[in-house]
Amino acid sequence: MESRAKSVVLGVTGSIAAYKAADIASRLTKLEREVQVVMTREAREFITPLTLQVLSKRPVVSDLFDEKEGWQPGHIELADRADLLLIAPATAQIVAELAHGFASHALAAIALATRAPILLAPAMNGKMWLHPATLENVEVLKRRGVKFIGPEEGLLACGYEGVGRLWPVDGIVEAAEGMLAEKDEG
């Protein structure tokens, strides 16, 4: 009996770094991962669903109310099927939503429903990353077992120099692969 490909739900949120999700989706697909992209409304302002659909070879989910197939809500099916939920880039908004259990859009609902490991790759202005509310939300999520990669320091899209850049794509893909391997061992 053949085993199915590992399933990665790739969440993309509204950050200028959203364009790097295309490279992440492409690399994971080349590693023979089943990549299902889920975009927030804000992410669609930075990158088109079509780009991510072509690279992942799957339709992109962006709305809870687009679900038309089958009887089971699609976000629950994706949450159940996921071997890993990777959100890259992860904005301060999604970090807060996850920390507080909000599920007002497809990505947040999937995150709340999944029992798969979660990896967040933050990308935001350094002042936002270092704000006490964000730091508290990160600590809440870490206590729940959510893993973080980054952010790194450097020149930010807003023109500031500091922490907040999305971790390099190679490192994100490597961390995702490591978490999938850990899940196999566990």
* 43 catalytic residue (yes or no): no
The catalytically annotated residue of 130, 133, 158, 181 is 158
CA distances from 143 to 6, 18, 77, 136, 138 (A): 25, 27, 26, 11, 9
Q: Is 24 left (phi over 0), alpha (psi -120 to 50) or beta?
A: alpha
- Give the span between the Cα atoms of 88 and 113, in whole angstroms: 19
- Across 1-114, where does the E strand assignment appear? 7-12, 34-39, 84-90
- Is residue 61 within 8 A of residue 37, CB to CB? The reply is yes
- Is residue 171 classed exposed, middle or buried when 0-12, 13-18 and 19+ CB atoms within 10 A define those classes? middle
Residue partners of 21: CB distance under 8 A and separation at least 6: 10, 12, 37, 43, 47, 52, 88, 89
- Residues taking part in catalysis: 158
